[in-house]
Amino acid sequence: MTILDDTELHGDASYAASRARSDTIHKLIDDPHGRGREKLRVLTGDRPTGPLHIGHLFATLQSRVAIQDKGIDTFILVADYQVITDRDSVGDVRAATYGQLADYLASGIDPARSTIFAHSAVPEIGQLMLSFLSLVTDAELRRNPTVKDELAATDGRPLSGLLLTYPVHQAADILSVHGSVVPVGRDQLPHVEQTRAIARRFNARYAGGEEYFRTPDALLTDLPVVPGLDGRKMSTSRGNGISLGMTADETAARIRKARTDSERRITFDPDGRPEVASMLRIAGLFTGERPEQVADRIGDGGAAALKAALTTAVNDGLAVHRARRAEFAADPAYLESVLREGNARAREVAARTLDDVQDRLGLRY
Ligand code: TRP
């Protein structure tokens, strides 16, 4: 096997193997006496492309808080340089970053225990990427299914060098702080596989076989993807989502405007009635009910009763988060200090990694 053999990437067998490793890590995190637990380090992140929505709350924020609260060392990245992978400008990245930060803190992420930092504040990540690029082929990058999907979603834009290589950049994110556990959805799995390959190839080619980089594992969540109000994936750009920072009135208005159907009896029928099914699912996430139970409760009330029940479920469920979020958002100096301290901590770790890497490459004068 040459160093650039990538047959281990992207297959079904690789999904099953990732799943099994993820299950093992879940158990280790949950076992206060688990061996090697203290050596785990979590690295995960979000692109600051716009307001975080309720999908983020259920799919990522709550599990990050749970991991942090179990005492696992956690790094959370505001992936600002990744915003321009598939668009022409970063947009209002400051507002998105500080909004994201307010949501992190409101959800219970504690900056004293979790290091929150931004790409742009850790230039060492970009420099690490240079040596990592020598360890991948253009063919494997072009085959990456997530890169392909993201390219397809850009309305005919040409493939930029950054979009093609962002899995390598993401490997640098993870390895710069020696992350060993990467909580992600299934769509991000190819990047974790790529990171594993880079870690192994680095060790083999540049570190004389020493295990300088650990091969990180994905931590897959079983949580359902929270659908948008129209039944499609929830996304800020589609206007089908409910963001965490909306007011109760904005939430009510968004739900009022959402499409449903005119049948009075509310039933859970994801294929036949996708919009109604999504609303039942979202309401159930907040009330702890199954979607069928929500439907039974509403009975013959029609769309109006469904929307009223959904609005109450969401607004009640988010009231505490929103109150905390508003307090943080009203204190920009505090938010800035959280990010400044997180950046400094992450940069210190990444600078040490870059130093080690350059030593192993022989780039030392
Ligand atoms: N690509 C991730 C997303 O779009 C964000 C991200 C950037 C990330 N770097 C990361 C996730 C490192 C996990 C690890 O959601």
The residue assigned the tokens 């800020």 is 236
Taking the C-alpha atoms of residue 227 and residue 190, their distance in angstroms, rounded to an integer, is 23
Nearest CA to ligand 1 atom 8: 45
pLDDT score recorded for residue 155: 84
User: Residue 184: helix, strand or coil by DSSP?
Assistant: strand
Q: Is the pLDDT of residue 192 over 50?
A: yes
- Cα 314 from Cα 242, distance rounded (Å): 9
Higher pLDDT, 230 or 41: 41
Quote the CA–CA distance of 30 and 47 in Å, as a whole number. 28
125 within ligand 1 shell (Cβ under 6 A): no
Rounded CA gap, 243 and 100, in Å? 11
User: Could you give the CA distance from residue 174 to residue 125 in angstroms, rounded to a whole number?
Assistant: 9
- What separation in Å is there between the alpha carbon of 46 and the centre of ligand 1? 5
Percent with pLDDT over 90 in the chain: 86
The answer to whether the CB of 170 is under 6 A from ligand 1 is yes
Ligand 1 centroid from CA 44, angstroms: 6
177 within ligand 1 shell (Cβ under 6 A): no
Cβ–Cβ under 8 Å, residues 45 and 60: no
Can you tell me the distance from the alpha carbon of 40 to that of 300, in angstroms, rounded to the nearest whole number?
51
Q: 354-362, long-range: CB within 8 Å, 24+ apart, which pairs? A: 354/124, 354/127, 354/128, 354/176, 356/212, 357/128, 357/131, 357/202, 357/206, 360/206, 360/207, 360/208, 360/212, 361/131, 361/206
pLDDT of res. 7: 47
Distances in Å between the alpha carbon of 96 and those of 101, 188, 190, 242? 9, 21, 26, 15
> Which of 18, 41, 42, 46 to probe ligand 1 with, by most ligand atoms within 8 A of CB?
46
Residue 117: strand, helix, or coil: strand
Atom of ligand 1 nearest to the CA of 184: 13
Q: What is the mean pLDDT of residues 277-283?
A: 95
68: which 2 tokens? 């942090």
For residue 86, report the distance from its CA to the centre of ligand 1, in Å.
14
Q: Which of 52, 83, 191 to mutate to test the pocket of ligand 1 (most atoms within 8 A of CB)?
A: 191
Q: Which of 81, 82, 163 to mutate to test the pocket of ligand 1 (most atoms within 8 A of CB)?
A: 82
Q: pLDDT tens digits for 284-297?
A: 999 999 999 999 99
User: Can you read off the two tokens belonging to residue 255?
Assistant: 């739900």
pTM of the entire predicted model: 0.93
Distance from the alpha carbon of residue 47 to the mean position of ligand 1, in angstroms: 7
The pLDDT, as a whole number, for residue 235 is 77
Of all protein residues, the one whose alpha carbon is nearest to atom 15 of ligand 1 is 46
Range of 90-99, 152-161, 237-246 with top mean pLDDT: 90-99
Model pLDDT for residues 335-358, shown as the tens digit of each residue: 999 999 999 999 999 999 999 999
Distance between CA atoms of residues 131 and 361, nearest Å: 9
Residue 2 has pLDDT above 60, yes or no: no
**How many A from CA of 186 to the centre of ligand 1?**
12
Our mutation pick for probing the ligand 1 site, out of 22, 49, 173, 235, counting the most ligand atoms within 8 A of Cβ, is 173
Burial class (CB in 10 A: 0-12, 13-18, 19+), 143: middle
Q: What are phi and psi of 45, to 5 degrees?
A: -170, 175
> pLDDT tens, 257-269?
999 999 999 999 9
Dihedral Cα 248, 253, 256, 258, nearest 10 deg: -110
219 CB within 6 A, ligand 1: no
Across the strands, what pairs with 43?
A: 75
Model confidence pLDDT, tens digit, residues 46-60: 999 999 999 999 989
Task: Please state the rounded mean pLDDT for residues 96-123.
Answer: 98
SS3 for 362?
coil
Whether the pLDDT of residue 195 is over 90: the answer is yes
pLDDT of 12 reads 72
Residue-wise pLDDT for 200-212, tens only, equals 999 999 999 999 9
Q: How far does residue 45's CA lie from ligand 1's centre (Å)?
A: 5
| Residue among 182, 31, 42 nearest 114 (CA) | 42
Separation CA 99–CA 76 (nearest Å): 15
Residue 79 CA, closest ligand 1 atom number: 7
Question: For residue 346, what pLDDT is reported?
Answer: 98
Tell me if 174 CB under 6 Å of ligand 1: yes
> CA 127 → CA 60, 234, 337, distances in Å?
29, 34, 26
Q: Confirm or reject: Cβ of 329 under 6 Å from ligand 1.
A: no
pLDDT of residue 358: 98
Round to whole Å and give the CA distance between 136 and 197: 9
